[in-house]
Structures are given as C-alpha cells and as structure tokens.
Structure 1
C-alpha cells in the first residue's frame, strides 16, 4: 500500500472495537497518513486477560496490548518481546503475555488509573496515534437471550449457546459506566468512525453500550463505517446475514446510525478452514443486499478476503484502501 503524502491535513479516524479483528485494520491504517485513535473494549474476561483481571481487578489488558503493538513504531524485536506469551510449562506465568503483565503493573502503580497508564505506555512504545480504553474501570458484559435468561460475563455469554437479543455493560457495583472526555472528544472531532471487524456482541457493542460513547457515535458528523464480519461466530451470530449484523447494531442504539457497511462477497473455499484451530467460526456470513439497504446504509461489497494459515481474515490493506477512498484520500 502506498502511503498518502498529500499536504492536506491528516484525516482523523477513530476505530472502535476489540479482539483480533481490530489490529488487522490498525496495522494497515498505520501505514497511512492518518491521525488514528483506537477505542478498545474493556469487558474481556477470558484467557490471560481474564486471569489478570480476576487477581488484581485491572482493566483486561489483552486487546489494549495488541492495539499498542499495531500502532507502535518500535523495532520489531521490541514488539515481539512485548507480545511474547509464556509456554504452558512455565506454570507461574503460563499463558500470560509479557505485555499483559506490564500493563497490569503500570495500572497498579497508578492506583488503577488504566487510562493514564496506557497513555504513558503509548509514549514508551512510540505509538503513532492514540489508544484509549473505552472506560477507565473493568466492565461487566451482560446479555439477555431469546428465552428471557440473563447471563453476565463475556466468556459465559458465548459459552451459553443461546440466541442473544441484547447486551449491556455495567461496572462491578452495577452502576452505569461512562467513557473519559478524551474518548468523546475524539469521536466528535473525527472525520471517520470505523466499527469492526470483530465479535458483534462481545467486542463492538460493549463499547457502544457505554452511554456517552453510544450517544457520541450517533451525534458525530463523521461517517460511521461498519466492517462486517466474514464468518458467523459460535454463540453469537449463528445464521446471521450481513444485514442482521447491521440491524442489531442499529437496534441497540435505537437509530440507523451506520452510514456505510463494507462486506466481503468473495466465497470462502470449501474445507479451507482448520475447524479445530478456529473452532469459534462457523459459516460464511450470508450476503443480503436488500436487507442492508433497508437499514438505510450505503453498501460497498468487494473481495476483502485473506486466506492464511487455514484461517479466514480480512485483507487489512484492501479494507483500508476503501476507507481512504471513502474519506477522500484516494481517487474514487
């Protein structure tokens, strides 16, 4: 991808999400002449992040770690050290990434102020852009299912195997959380808001369910672009079409706030995926052009597919090329 070198001001792009999809876009966006702000979910309670969260009540660090690395200008060897995960034979550190431990330590040093900790670490890691936790305290994700049951906790929600109707976030004392003013200011001043790719109910919506974040995304003058997932996800979006993803987002904020949706229409080769390695992904998301138009959004459909290591991913460079075109940084 050719870096844009126009003398026009750097466009302000806010990317909101979490999970493995967010760094894919940020890695490619980092090559562009853009002012990037990543707003990262803090409701993760699985894996290393969940263990650290349980022990010291810190915002889960895993997604923040990956985003910091994707925007860092440090030499690759330093980023590799930050990402290194201890092997299972190291019983005390088993499964923990060094970066998770560093983030947890900084947060403890600053009496739990994760926002300030991440800003300090961003300077240390020479991050080109801004990395903002969606909230300054750990959040609890709650879900209501079609049978009326309510479950709390991201890992428990996805393991339930039920149809989710809606989600919301609370703090440990069940109060309603709010994002820092810096997060809201970034959204309101943005030229483009990017949602996804990522788990619909557990990576994207937890951010939007923070009341002032959802309100800002609905009120901003920026174009809101949703990058729809390529595959349906077990325990979350089974049998979903691309229009179903957009419908759920709009319903949660009670407004058709998605302006543009990017959808992959390239077929995933039969039997390409390693179903054991990528066991949470089920089938390719069904394309429903009419359903998308009914949601009032512009539809950009193309081949955004990247096949790698018997897994299915978005081609970050192709997606970002389209984002740059939408914002007027590349010829139409």
Structure 2
C-alpha cells in the first residue's frame, strides 16, 4: 500500500466516485473526505430513521475504490423497487447503516465495509455530526436543505451548515496533513464540495498544507446551482467559503463539445463552463487544460483521464 503519492480528495456526489475509480489505478494512497449534508432519497430517509450520517456518497466512494468482484459492486449498488418500505433504498446504504448499528461508529463501519469490498484506499466522512445545509440567495431569501437548494433556481450567494460549528473526523484531518495532493471535486460546487469546507478546521488545515491543491472544474453548468458560471466564478466561490490559499490550481476541460451535444444539454438548461483564463489567474490560481471528458454518450468526466492528469500535474509541479 506504499505505492504512489498520498492523494486526499474532497467532495461528494457521483463526481467524487468518478475520480476515485481512476485514482485507485494510480496510487494505493487515496483517501476520500466526503460530505454528509445529503438529505434526499434513500440517504435522507436512513439519516432520519436511524440518526446516522447519510450513507449514499460514502457508499459510492467505497464501491469506486473497491478491488472486488463485479457481482459485489452490483450488490452494493442494487436499489430495491416495488412499494415496500425497502423501495428506493440501495443495498449498500442498508449495509452501511447495519454496520454502523453493529459497531456503534460510522468510522468503524466504513473500515469493516472496506474489508468486505477489498477497498484500495480510505473513505471518511468530513464530520459525524448531523448537519443541515442551507443557502442564502442573492435576493436575501434562505433555502433550507441540500436537496431543496437547486430547486428554487435562484443565484446562490453563500451556503451554511447548521449547527455552524461541528467537529471534523480526526482521520480526515490526518489525511489532509499527510496529503501530497489535495483534490476538490468534480461535483456539485455548493452542495457536494463546499459543505466540507464549512466543517471546523478542515479549510484551515487545507490552507496550512504544503500539498498541491487542485480543483477539478465542472465541464457543464448545473441548473439551480451554477447557472451562467464561468471557471473563475467556480474558483471564486471556493475561495469565498474556504479563504485565500484554499486552492492553487484549477483543472479544466479543453476537449471541444460537439454542437449536437451542446444542443441536447441546452434543452436541460446546461451549458459548457466558459474558461475565463485571465480571471482565474487574477484570483492567484494557476490553470491546467486537458481532455478530461468522456463524451461518447453523455458528457461525463472520464475516470482514467482525470486521475492521469491529476498525477501529471503533481509530477510536473513537484519537479518545478
């Protein structure tokens, strides 16, 4: 497990698991710090019923780092259908919930689940506190709940967690301190990445770290969250919430998106994120451009391209 640099990735949602899937091929020292602000779907229900942190994003990260049989991955991602109380729950979420009940501790539950899945790396929640996310919009209104924020389709000014002060998981702080590379994203800017920075000490530890700090910018805007956002606006939001020094470099896509694909996404209110290079550099952040997408059917970040470019940045910057 000593092969490759210490890489700590910070975020949530499906974007983080996409990066981890590629990262496990590049280093055996990958650690995920995962947001626990999710309050929708199966995770939200389990959170309320069992008073635990939402397991969904943690599950996706475990599966992404797993070195296991495809059947085990299928099992963990299997979602019950029908009209029973189990409908909508994924098996993996129920497994992590049961393991938390058995061990009495989410960190221990993730450790034991990692053994079952033969995970190459580590997965930690940012905090074990039951936090709620809210957003103050530019018009002054406040929207409560992570799942509700994108639905109001207003420009976000700032997001907050409640309680305002919560303890970080010590293992997450340790992972930041040991990191040679810290990567944010990819994923929802305000609901997956930034909530981690609002947990006490996490942003401070990242800023103090000598690691290379990379933000993977979204390729497309996200309706209700980053409408009309440029690359520099994504970076600016990170700095406003985490403070100066939170990010050193931004990795953006430079592969051209076909007119057909742009038209398809435009119908859903999504557009390519404009890379305003000078505005990014004016924020004191370096810019790296690369082909980091898979556009064969839809536009997604490509696991291997992402991981390889992060490693390329690490080696290039380390030499300089």
The TM-score bracket by the shorter chain reads: over 0.9
Q: 1:316 aligns with which of 303, 308, 320?
A: 303
When normalised by structure 2's length, the TM-score is 0.93
Q: 1:291 aligns with which of 279, 283, 287?
A: 279
Aligned length: 318
> Aligned pair in 2 of structure 1 residues 253, 329: CA closer, same or farther (>3 Å)?
closer
CA displacement at 1:42 relative to structure 2: 0.5
Secondary structure of 2:158 counterpart: strand
CA displacement at 1:184 relative to structure 2: 0.6
CA displacement at 1:105 relative to structure 2: 1.4
When normalised by structure 1's length, the TM-score is 0.90
Q: 2:171 aligns with which of 182, 191, 203?
A: 182
Secondary structure of 1:211 counterpart: coil
CA displacement at 1:235 relative to structure 2: 1.0
User: What does residue 29 of structure 2 align with?
Assistant: 35
**CA–CA distance in 2 between the matches of 1:191 and 1:256?**
15
Bigger CA drift: 321-330 or 119-128?
321-330
Residues 8 and 33 in structure 2, CA contact (< 8 A), matched pair in contact too: yes
Structure 2 residue runs of 5 or longer lacking an equivalent are: none
The Cα RMSD (Å) is 2.2
Q: 1:166 aligns with which of 158, 161, 186?
A: 158
Please state if 1:227 is matched with 2:220.
Answer: no
**CA–CA distance in 2 between the matches of 1:105 and 1:9?**
33
Please state if 1:198 is matched with 2:187.
Answer: yes
User: What does residue 103 of structure 1 align with?
Assistant: 96
Secondary structure of 1:155 counterpart: coil
Residues 2 and 28 in structure 2, CA contact (< 8 A), matched pair in contact too: no
Residues 21 and 303 in structure 2, CA contact (< 8 A), matched pair in contact too: yes
CA displacement at 1:165 relative to structure 2: 0.6
Secondary structure of 2:95 counterpart: helix
Residues 324 and 330 in structure 1, CA contact (< 8 A), matched pair in contact too: no
User: What does residue 238 of structure 1 align with?
Assistant: 227
1:1-332 correspondence runs (5 A): 10-87=4-81, 89-111=82-104, 113-170=105-162, 174=163, 176-272=165-261, 279=268, 282-309=270-297, 311-328=298-315
Structure 1 residue runs of 5 or longer lacking an equivalent are: 1-6
More helix by share: 2
Q: What CA deviation, in whole Å up to 9, does each residue of 1:257-287 have, x standing for no partner?
A: 21111001223223327969x95x6111111
Structure 1 runs (4+) greater than 6 angstroms displaced: 329-332
**CA–CA distance in 1 between the matches of 2:10 and 2:156?**
21
